Amino acid sequence: MSATRAPSRWSDDAFLDRLRLEGDAPADDCYAEILASSGDFAGLFEHLNADDTPVPDGAPAPLKAFFTEFSRTPTPNGQPVEWQRLKRGEDVFSTHACCSALVLLTSSLPAGYAAPNLSKVLVLSGNLNNHPYKRLLGVLQMVVNVTYPGGFAPNGKALITAPKLRLLHAGVRQIVRRHLPDYESQYGVPVNHEDMLATLMGFSLLVVRGLQQLGVGLSDADAEHYFYLWRIYALAMGVHPPGAPDSTDYLPADLTEAEEFYRAYARRHYRKASENPEGVELTRANLLLLRHLLGRPVLKLMGLGSADRIYMQLMLGVDGLMQRGVAPVTWHTIAMRTCVTLPRIWTRLTTLANRDSSRHHHERVSQLVFQGMIDRNLGGQVTFLIPDSLSDLHALTTSVDMPYGERRIAQRRAQESDIPFPNRRARPDRRLAFRQTFWRTRH
């Protein structure tokens, strides 16, 4: 019988409570310095494209200084990073990109929605519940940047993304304090170290566990390499003791410690649906997005019309679905067999047709999700904006163009608003003309 580890500080409430009192002082100081020198962020901050130069031309001096200091390759505990392990971690995402996107939708994002301390902050930005694909694209862009080959080398995408997000979180902290005055006394510092660590665990621990649950062939060694990559990124994101940027004291050493931490986080912060309406709404919107991406007519004919809830139930479990206000699939066993068997048949047919059959059968389903997200990335790269107000935060959710159908509706509304109200009814009304024609034929 294998030995089990004794409980450590990762399940110690006193240690985790201390993490809730710590934010990101350097990012907050940079934010405050720029705000004090300019009085307003309007016109100061340009959009920072996710793959452009770290600092736009004409950026304020404090912003340039922040990027210069915090865009360096982390040195955990004063030692150089293990580049080969980073390379192995990057390969995990590039090999399983489609299934990783599916796990992000069915596990990583909805897992955090069960915690009111996270969901209350997320709904502040507006439109996350109505247009969750925008948040998903932002998350996907961040994951792609972190796992991009050479992302932790000088001027690498991971090192460019980290300080942008740190400044974004600094703006969010100020906005939460203005608009949710009771938040800090109840939950601690907004975007604190414990919440940041849980979020990063969602992109690392939950992703590798989800991939292993799907059975796509991810080894334990590669899972640890992927976690190591995100551990280094956590240092770049400022998750460390104050004044010790190279210390890993605030980071689980491996997946075993990460699981202990996440179990403790769920125990401490997850709430039932009746106590977390924001989380229920975010989960509902997330499920609708997944249903839209998977709900192709051919899938319904194949019996995969409920694949959205089936996969989410596979990742979160029945209790996890109910905790987020989602009714579980009662015929789960049969439905899960359908979700597994039909993609296998699909894979077999592609083999007979001499097409690429190297992908796992779950890759076939998750490819629809991944391609669906790519189809909706009409605006190209997601942009990051350092927010100063709720309107700035709302702009973050509109930095990616809407899907075609929603864009047409918005365009029609905009055209309608340009027409003076008395003149609107003067235009031909096709529905009215149809009704008049219809009733004339009845006389």
Contacts of residue 148, Cβ cutoff 8 Å, sequence gap at least 6: 90, 156, 157, 158
Q: Which two tokens stand for residue 85?
A: 């392990």
The confidence score (pLDDT) of residue 5 equals: 67
Give 140's contacts (C-beta < 8 A, 6+ positions apart).
101, 104, 373
Instruction: Write the Ramachandran bin of 183: left for phi over 0, alpha for psi from -120 to 50, otherwise beta.
Output: alpha
Contact between 383 and 51 under an 8 Å Cβ cutoff? The reply is: no
Query: Over the stretch 91-128, which tens digit does the pLDDT of each residue have?
Result: 999 888 888 888 998 999 999 999 999 999 988 865 55
| Torsion angle defined by CA atoms of residues 258, 282, 392 and 28, in that order, rounded to the nearest 10 degrees | -20
Q: What pLDDT is recorded for position 138?
A: 76
* Three-state helix/strand/coil letters over the chain: CCCCCCCCHHHCHHHHHHHCCCCCHHHHHHHHHHHHHHCCCCCCCCCEECCCCCCCCCCCHHHHHHHHHHCCCCCHHHCCCCHHHHHHHHHHHHHCHHHHHHHHHHHHHHHHHCCHHHHHHHHHCCCCCCCHHHHHHHHHHHHHHHCCCCCCCCCCHHHHHHHHHHHHHHHHHHHHHHHCCCHHHHHCCCCCHHHHHHHHHHHCHHHHHHHHHHCCCCCHHHHHHHHHHHHHHHHHCCCCCCCCCCCCCCCCCCHHHHHHHHHHHHHHHCCCHHHCHHHHHHHHHHHHHHHHHHCCHHHHHCCCCCHHHHHHHHHHHHHHHHHCCCCCCCCHHHHHHHHHHHHHHHHHHHHHCCCCCCCCHHHHHHHHHHHHHHHCCCCCCCEECCCCCHHHHHHHCCCCCCCHHHHHHHHHHHHHHCCCHHHHCCCCCHHHHHHHHHHHCCC
pTM of the model: 0.78
Distance from C-alpha of 418 to C-alpha of 408, rounded to nearest angstrom: 16
Which segments in the chain show pLDDT lower than 50? 1-2, 42-47, 49-52, 341-358, 374-383, 394, 396-406, 409-410, 421-422, 424-425, 435, 437-443
Report pLDDT for 350: 43
Between 157-179 and 116-124, two packed helices, what is the crossing angle to 10 degrees?
90
pLDDT value at position 158? 95
Q: Give pLDDT, residue 55.
A: 72
pLDDT in tens, 151-180: 999 989 999 999 989 998 998 999 999 999
